[in-house]
Amino acid sequence: MERLPFYVGIITLISISLGAIFPFVLNLTPLKNYAASHLPHTHASLTGFLPATLKHPVNILILGIDNSGHPHQGKFTPTEALAGNSDTLLLVRLVPNKHQINVLSIPRDTLVRLPDIGIDKINDANVRGGSKLAAETVSQLLNGVTIDRYVRVDTEGFIHLVDALGGVEVNIPKKMDYIDHTQHLDIHFSPGRQKLNGQHLQEYVRFRQDALGDIGRVQRQQEVLREILRTALQPATIAKVPQIMQVVKENVETDLSVQEILAIAQTVATNNRHQMHLIMLPGRFSSNKEYKRSYWISDSSATAGILSRYFDVQTANALDTQVNSVQPQTLRIAVENATGQPEVAKTVVSVLKKHGFTNVYVTHHEIDTGVDSAGRTQIIAQHGNPEAANAVSSTLGTGQVMVASVGDILSDVTVVIGADLVEKLKLQYDVVPN
């Protein structure tokens, strides 16, 4: 089964945050709610009185349901559309007093134990027991984290949402060709920045013909999420609100109330882009000797630290290594060259090693890690550890720190070299890369 891009639920939440929205939101009662599940919420209500605002941090599980392989493509019922594998699992925590959005991507192949079934991939939970079982499984996987609400949307819903936004620009880092007739995929992309419609964007994120397979797709999703957020929060999107709302009404199932949606929209709309933290569940690929099927096996110690920092889940073995151990000699630092100057990456490696970072290497990572239009260097905290990224940024004297799992998968920190770092090398270190 292929993976639906995980950010579809975020599109829903962000799109409805734009101005002149209230009369449209009122028409959403109720949202698509086919035998809707109701999770055992900690809080009966998430909001205060009008104007609707979030009273406290909220955890929302977003499930992207893949129905692209349905034998009666385009003719299934709404219930069938949401009954497939939840190939996208995203836990989103909104922290209103900090204007913070924390996002944990859970790979579809993550190994879990389902009740009365045994070992399985987490994307099967929705098939076996709908949103309730999916939420229970995610909570068990993540040390009992509370899940307050859920959102489910299918493949067609994602396509319609992106089209309602008018498409989304992404930078495709390499030539992509992939055909899978069972999943109705016929992918052909040339490298470069380009605007993609809903159909093409979901094809881009579902591309799987690279070394990292499903993990590479998770990284593409996080890269694309930033672009969707940028697009959704543009002033020009205001005029598209009626169309977006109609798509939401027809394609999204959730147990969020209208008032809660308004409160979430307000929180998201006022969010500082640099307060979004995108993390992937840490782990490793299983070996052929362990299991016949391929699984992503979570790293419980590393996960405990992430849950403590970003989801307020405290456990007895929560070793918050992000805070307590920023030791240059132990950090794995990958250096990616985005300047087109062949020797600059080697120069950066040499500079970092001179300052005590002994485990530094050049990477040719294929995911677009996001050097912005101003050419600023990105320092990526690959495993949710901004202290480590800040230490690297401080040493280099430049670089925008971001928490995202889009860098080299083996690294703790990935440095994506931009024009600002090249200038810094010339001035500070008297080095002029070729």
Half-sphere exposure of 252 (CA within 13 A, CB side): 32
Q: Which two tokens stand for residue 311?
A: 């989801």
Pairing of strands 400-403, 378-381: parallel
pLDDT of residue 136: 94
At a CB cut-off of 8 Å and minimum separation 6, what does 327 contact? none
Q: From 275, 270, 266, 276, select the one nearest 13 (Cα to Cα).
A: 266
Rounded Cα distance between 259 and 194, Å, is: 37
pLDDT of residue 8: 46
The alpha-helical segments, DSSP class H, found in 54-154 are 78-81, 125-141
Determine how many CB atoms are found less than 10 A away from the CB of residue 334.
26
pLDDT of residue 213: 73
Rounded Cα distance between 121 and 361, Å, is: 33
* pTM of this structure: 0.83
Half-sphere exposure of 320 (CA within 13 A, CB side): 14
Segments of the chain scoring below 70 in pLDDT? 1-45, 47-52, 68-76, 181-184, 209, 270-274, 315-325, 366-374, 429-434
Rounded Cα distance between 407 and 367, Å, is: 8
Q: From 16, 157, 38, select the one nearest 88 (Cα to Cα).
A: 157
Rounded Cα distance between 193 and 259, Å, is: 38
Q: Helix 155-165 crosses helix 198-206 at what angle (to 10 degrees)?
A: 130
Rounded Cα distance between 306 and 311, Å, is: 7
Rounded Cα distance between 211 and 180, Å, is: 17
Dihedral of alpha carbons 279, 285, 291, 295, sign: positive
Q: From 301, 320, 298, select the one nearest 309 (Cα to Cα).
A: 320
Q: Which helix (H) or strand (E) element contains residue 350?
A: helix 344-354
Rounded Cα distance between 198 and 164, Å, is: 9
Determine how many CB atoms are found less than 10 A away from the CB of residue 380.
29
Q: What secondary structure letter does DSSP report for 315?
A: -
Distances (CA, A) of 434 to 219, 339, 345, 346: 31, 11, 11, 11
Q: From 127, 428, 146, 101, select the one nearest 270 (Cα to Cα).
A: 101
Determine how many CB atoms are found less than 10 A away from the CB of residue 326.
18
Q: Which two tokens stand for residue 377?
A: 């260097």
Q: CA 150, 403, 420: angle at the middle one, nearest 5? A: 145
Strand partners, 359: 332
